[in-house]
C-alpha cells in the first residue's frame, strides 16, 4: 500500500494556472453557496429566485460578497469563495444559458471567441500545466 | 454463472443528451460524434446484455454537499431521470437489478471495499447520456442497470489504483453470482475538459489517446497515473477518467479492442469512446 503525503498532494494543486481544485477547504468555505445553488434544482425554487433574486439569497447563510457575486454572475469570484462548477451550473440552467457560454465568462474570451477556440480543437495545455515549471 | 463479457468507455457530456433528445444527432456539429457510436449501437443489438454495471459520477443531482460517498452502488428497483435545472430528460426510467447489485455490494464489503448502498435516487446525465449513446431512442432501455457512482467532484477522489482494484473485485463478485447473466461494465466521463476558471476549454488529444492506448495494453501501468497528472494534462474535469479504470480493472489482465473513437469538440469536452473485451 503506497502512502500519499496529503500536504504535498494538496500543495501541488496551487501550481496549476487558472484552476481552482475543489478541495475540502473550498468545500467548507462554499458549503452554503453550493447548497443555495443546489436548491435551484426544483422548479418552484427557480421561480421564486427569478421573481426576487435578492430576497431568495437572503434566506441563505452566505456572505454579502457571495450574494453580490451571484447577482453579478461573477463565476470566477464564486469559485474563489468555494463555489463548485457543478453546483453553480444550476444557476446557468436557471438563466437558460448554455454550459459552455457560462464557462466562457470565466476566461478572457467572449462567448463567440471561446466557441471558435473549441471548434478549432480547444485550449492547448502548452504553457498552462505548471506555474513553477513554466510548461 | 454471471460473467463480464465486455467493457465500454465513453464520455457523458450533457449536450449529447440534448442533441439526442432534439433530433440533432446527424447535424454538422454532432454528426461526427454520433457516427463514432454507430458501430457500438449495432454491436449492442447483437450482444443484448442482461445487466450493465454503469460507473459514472453524479453532478450535484442526487448527491449534494450533505453526503459525499466515494463509491456508491445502486441496489434499487428503478431510478428516474433527474431534473438538472431544465426539467428531467424524457428518457425511460432506468430499471435496476437488485439481486445482482446486492450480491455485488455484499461481496465488495467482504472484499474490504466499504461501499455506500443506495436504494432510492434520481440519475443524471452522467448515467442517462451513455445509455442514449449506446442504445439510441427507445421505449424502455434494453438492459437492466446497476448504477455505480464515484465521487470525482470533492477532493480527493479515489486513486486510479483503487479504482482498478475495485474493478477487479467487481469481476470476482459477478463471477460468483449463480444466475447465468451477460454483464457489461461501462466506465464513463472525460476525456480532457476543464469547465472552470481562466484555463477553461483545455483539450489534450495526445494525452487522451495515450490513455486509450494504455487501456488497450496488456499491463496495468494506467492505474498508477496520479491525480495531479490528470489535472495538469487533461483539465480539472479530466479527473473523471479514473472511472474508466474501474471498467478496465474488471476485464482482467489482457483485453482486445473491438472499437475506438475520438473527437474534439463537444461543448467544452473531448469525446472518447472505446469498447474492450476480456482476452
What was the pLDDT predicted at B87?
Answer: 84
* Adjacency order of strands within the sheet including B182-188: B116-118, B71-74, B144-150, B51-56, B182-188, B3-10, B269-278, B255-266
Residue B231: which H helix or E strand, with range? helix B227-234
> Which residues does chain B have within 8 Å of residue A107's beta carbon, measured at their own beta carbons?
197-198, 200-201
Give the mean pLDDT of A91-103.
94
How many CB contacts within 8 angstroms connect chain A with chain B?
160
What was the pLDDT predicted at B68?
Answer: 96
- Give the number of other Cβ atoms within 10 Å of residue B142's Cβ: 17
The 10s digit of each residue's pLDDT in B138-172 is 999 999 999 999 999 999 999 999 999 999 999 99
HSE (CB half, 13 Å, CA atoms) of B198?
Answer: 8
Give the mean pLDDT of B114-127.
97
Residue A118 has pLDDT above 90, yes or no: yes
- From the candidates A1, A11, A21, which should be mutated to test the interface with B, based on the most B CB atoms within 10 A? A21
Residues 50-89 of A with CB under 8 A from B: 75-76, 79, 84-87, 89
What was the pLDDT predicted at B55?
Answer: 98
What is the overall mean pLDDT for chain B? 97
Give the mean pLDDT of B60-80.
96
Distance from CA of B204 to the nearest CA of A (A): 6
Note whether B150 and B57 are within 8 A (CB): yes
Residue B86 has pLDDT above 90, yes or no: no
Tell me if residue B193 is catalytic: yes
What is the overall mean pLDDT for chain A? 96
Residue A1 has pLDDT above 60, yes or no: no
Nearest to B183 by CA among B272, B125, B99, B244: B99
Residue B85 has pLDDT above 90, yes or no: no
**DSSP secondary structure code for residue B222 in this structure:** G
HSE (CB half, 13 Å, CA atoms) of A2?
Answer: 10
> Which among B86, B197, B207 has CB closest to A79?
B197
Distance from CA of A52 to the nearest CA of B (A): 18
Residues 86-105 of A with CB under 8 A from B: 86-87, 89-90, 92-94, 96, 98-100, 103-104
Give the mean pLDDT of A49-62.
98
Is A123 close to B203, i.e. CB distance below 8 A? yes
Instruction: Report ipTM for this prediction.
Output: 0.96
Task: Compute the CA torsion angle B44, B34, B149, B258 (nearest 10 deg).
Answer: 50
pLDDT tier at A22, thresholds 50, 70, 90: very high
Is B155 close to A38, i.e. CB distance below 8 A? no
CB neighbours of B86 closer than 8 A, spacing ≥ 6? A93, A96
Bridge partners (DSSP) listed for residue A42: none
User: Among B125, B261, B263, B273, which one carries the catalytic annotation?
Assistant: B125
Nearest to A13 by CA among B228, B55, B190, B77: B228
**Helix pair angle (B242-250, B160-175), 10° resolution:** 30
Q: Which residue of B has its CA nearest to A15?
A: B232
Task: Compute the CA torsion angle A39, A40, A42, A47 (nearest 10 deg).
Answer: 120
Note whether A21 and B236 are within 8 A (CB): yes
> Which residues does chain B have within 8 Å of residue A12's beta carbon, measured at their own beta carbons?
228
Nearest to B104 by CA among B7, B160, B158, B181: B181
> Which among B84, B161, B199 has CB closest to A123?
B199
Is A18 close to B197, i.e. CB distance below 8 A? yes
pLDDT tier at A57, thresholds 50, 70, 90: very high
Give the mean pLDDT of B66-74.
97
pLDDT tier at A2, thresholds 50, 70, 90: low
Residues 196-225 of B with CB under 8 A from A: 196-205, 207
User: Among B12, B97, B103, B193, which one carries the catalytic annotation?
Assistant: B193
**Does the CB of B80 have a partner CB in chain A at under 8 Å?**
no
Tell me if residue B224 is catalytic: no
> Which among B65, B205, B267 has CB closest to A34?
B65
Amino acid at each position: 500500500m503506497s502512502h500519499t503525503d496529503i500536504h504535498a498532494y494538496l500543495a501541488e494543486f496551487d501550481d496549476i494556472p487558472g484552476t481552482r481544485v475543489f478541495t475540502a477547504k473550498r468545500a467548507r468555505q462554499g458549503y452554503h453557496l453550493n447548497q443555495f445553488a443546489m436548491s435551484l434544482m426544483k422548479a418552484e425554487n427557480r421561480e421564486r429566485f427569478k421573481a426576487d433574486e435578492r430576497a431568495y439569497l437572503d434566506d441563505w447563510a452566505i456572505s454579502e460578497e457571495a450574494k453580490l457575486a451571484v447577482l453579478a454572475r461573477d463565476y470566477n469570484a464564486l469559485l474563489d469563495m468555494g463555489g463548485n462548477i457543478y453546483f453553480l451550473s444550476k444557476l446557468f440552467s436557471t438563466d437558460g444559458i448554455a454550459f459552455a457560454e457560462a464557462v466562457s465568462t470565466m476566461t478572457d474570451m467572449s462567448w463567440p471567441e471561446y466557441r471558435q477556440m473549441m471548434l478549432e480543437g480547444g485550449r492547448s495545455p502548452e504553457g498552462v500545466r505548471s506555474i513553477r515549471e513554466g510548461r | 454463472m454471471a460473467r463480464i463479457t465486455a467493457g465500454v468507455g465513453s464520455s457523458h457530456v450533457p449536450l449529447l443528451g440534448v442533441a439526442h433528445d432534439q433530433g440533432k444527432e446527424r447535424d454538422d456539429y454532432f454528426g461526427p460524434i454520433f457516427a463514432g457510436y454507430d458501430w457500438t449501437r449495432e454491436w449492442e443489438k447483437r450482444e443484448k446484455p442482461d445487466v450493465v454495471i454503469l460507473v459514472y459520477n453524479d453532478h450535484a443531482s442526487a448527491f449534494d454537499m450533505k453526503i459525499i460517498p466515494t463509491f456508491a452502488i445502486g441496489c434499487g428497483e428503478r431510478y428516474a431521470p433527474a431534473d438538472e435545472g431544465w426539467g428531467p430528460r424524457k428518457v425511460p426510467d432506468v430499471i435496476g437489478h437488485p439481486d445482482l447489485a446486492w450480491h455485488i455490494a455484499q461481496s465488495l464489503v467482504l472484499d474490504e471495499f466499504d461501499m455506500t448502498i443506495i436504494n432510492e435516487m434520481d440519475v443524471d446525465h452522467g448515467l442517462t447520456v451513455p445509455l442514449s449513446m449506446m442504445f439510441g431512442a427507445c421505449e424502455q432501455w434494453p438492459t437492466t442497470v446497476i448504477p455505480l457512482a464515484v465521487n470525482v467532484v470533492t477532493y480527493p477522489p479515489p486513486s486510479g489504483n483503487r479504482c482498478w482494484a475495485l474493478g477487479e473485485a467487481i469481476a470476482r463478485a459477478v463471477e460468483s453470482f449463480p444466475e447465468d447473466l451477460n454483464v457489461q461494465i461501462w466506465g464513463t466521463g472525460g476525456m480532457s475538459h476543464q469547465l472552470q476558471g481562466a484555463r477553461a476549454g483545455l483539450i489534450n488529444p495526445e494525452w487522451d489517446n495515450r490513455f486509450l492506448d494504455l487501456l488497450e495494453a496488456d499491463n496495468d501501468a494506467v492505474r498508477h497515473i496520479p491525480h495531479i497528472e490528470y489535472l495538469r494534462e487533461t483539465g480539472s474535469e479530466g479527473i473523471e477518467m479514473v472511472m474508466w479504470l474501474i471498467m478496465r480493472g474488471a476485464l482482467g489482465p489482457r483485453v482486445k479492442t473491438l472499437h475506438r473513437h475520438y473527437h474534439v469538440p463537444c461543448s467544452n469536452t473531448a469525446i472518447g469512446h472505446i469498447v474492450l473485451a476480456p482476452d
